[in-house]
Structure 1
């Protein structure tokens, strides 16, 4: 390499570095740490991404992927004496700066002939699947009486107002249809995350198939919640740390209704013992990815 060529290369390199330093100093260039620190790593068994929502941009939730479930059950309240209305309003569910926001609010709201003092959102996915790995990166709401959940129901559930029931698939009552709770968090037990499965052999307040773990700061920091679901078992983890595994020795319709299509639900429920000083709090989701 000649001296003139080498000098030219050094000059160009210097100009580039100077321009870069000026840019950093004036514009305070930052990196998208959420993408860098939360690389999605599929399991060896489930390698193909079959469905996802990255919640890009800002605005309304993608109606091709999600359905707002708002219809009250018979009796005018959600099961368990919950005290919220689920709405399809933008104030309760929206995408902003690449994140899904589900927001629970304290506000008087009338719908379907019922007045309630809290609102939130309940989403049903328009995608259903059997077996795979589901990965969610999220922050959870805070406040005694808040009850956020990310979970799965069999699309055959007979539940008026649910997306798949509206499509004609509703044939089987809960809990016989089966339910898979990837994560639940009760604000009265802050930072403890629980997973469970409900079926004809274990359900409701008598559920015995569950586990959980204490996580640092679930409401202010993102964590990755994962379910690996195969024909043999289910494994539930947070940030790669397992806290529950379901693998019944006897698989029949009571213990293992988990061999058909399930769909995803995201919601924030409000319990009757909600803190009277509660105003609002969001569930913030970075992404949801399903591998098979």
Structure 2
């Protein structure tokens, strides 16, 4: 059942999507790697979508902006200021949502925290528990880019990582041929070095259109690209430490600049502005 997401508390938003561990230190994930056909499952129907077919700011009935940590800085030592309803950073044009990261200061803003870059982080107002999500997107290229399609529980007083995080797609410019699929829970998270995820090889993935998908059921999470699943995280039935994914989530689209993970080898200003383009977001449920 869909509902309008409550705003996620600041304490919760400072922790998720924190610096991922270096891939060389990640635990082996062979058991998580699959190669299966994907697509909209039989018996599922479209519950909500945004086709981004109306030019201007993103649809305020569907999206809100996360700006809560601007004043004192975002997690992972990220470098961006996230703007609110500013077309330079988030707009719909030519049938696509564009999240744009720029080299600029917004020192006239009351919540400016000294950042020298701007971008946007959008939260879906519609939430969902279990379903199939498909997002067609084009990732930006450049050293320091960190676009993500991910989700968090739509709840007050969230505790990370215990309440869970699902990363449908993460990309970093310093590792240009890889897509990250990951989940975080109380037992399985990067702070402990136990996070569950895979790196999917996608040569020259930035600058090209691909679909990124998630199938979330009470039994498992599957994630994939272009109509195939490559990652599976099973509900092992041991409790919420391993599987907290039983409540409604909010979908998040953002483009971070640098940080401990995205900026591991620096930020190349000469490639800016960066544009994270999204053709559509579609959510299906049984």
- Taking structure 2 as the reference length, the TM-score comes to 0.79
- Structural mapping, 1:143-292, within 5 Å: 143-156=142-155, 170-205=156-191, 206-272=193-259, 273-292=266-285
Which structure has the higher relative contact order (CA within 8 Å, separation 6+)?
2
Aligned equivalents of 2:238 and 2:202: distance in 1?
32
Counterpart of 1:85 in 2: which secondary structure? strand
1:86 match = 82
User: Whole-Å Cα distance in 2 between the matches of residues 204 and 59 of structure 1?
Assistant: 38
User: How far apart are 1:173 and its partner, in Å?
Assistant: 1.5
1:175-201: per-residue Cα shift (whole Å, max 9, x none)?
A: 112110000000101131111111111
CA-atom RMSD, angstroms? 1.7
TM-score by length of 1: 0.77
What's the offset of the Cα at 1:113?
A: 4.5
| C-alpha distance after superposition, 1:68-120 (max 9, x if no partner) | 111217x7111111111000211000000111000011112224142211111
More helix by share: 1
8 Å contact from structure 1 (residues 235, 245) kept in 2: yes
Task: Please give the secondary structure, in 2, of the residue aligned with 1:80.
Answer: helix
- Which residue of 1 is the match for residue 98 of structure 2? 101
What is the match of residue 59 of structure 1? 56
Larger mean CA deviation between 125-134 and 100-109 belongs to 100-109
The separation in 1 between residues aligned to 2:214 and 2:229, in whole angstroms, is 10
Give the match's secondary structure for 2:115: strand
Work out the CA distance in 2 between the residues paired with 1:98 and 1:53: 10
The CA distance in 2 between the partners of 1:96 and 1:42, in whole Å, is: 27
Whole-angstrom distance in 1 between the partners of 2:206 and 2:194: 26
Distance 1:113 1:55 in 2: 29
The 1:224/1:176 distance shift into structure 2, 3 A limit, reads: same
CA-CA distance at 1:41 after TM superposition: 4.7
SS of 2:149 mapped into structure 1: strand
Q: How many residues align?
A: 238
Q: Where does the alignment leave 5 or more consecutive residues of structure 1 unmatched? A: 1-39, 157-169
Deviations 1:35-57 (A, max 9, x none): xxxxx952125x21001000013
Task: Tell me the SS of whatever aligns to 2:174.
Answer: helix
Q: Does structure 2 retain, via aligned residues, the 8 Å contact 1:212–1:244?
A: no
* Runs of 4 or more above 6 Å deviation: none
TM-superposed CA distance for 1:253, in Å, is: 1.3
Aligned 8 A contact 2:81 2:112 in 1: no
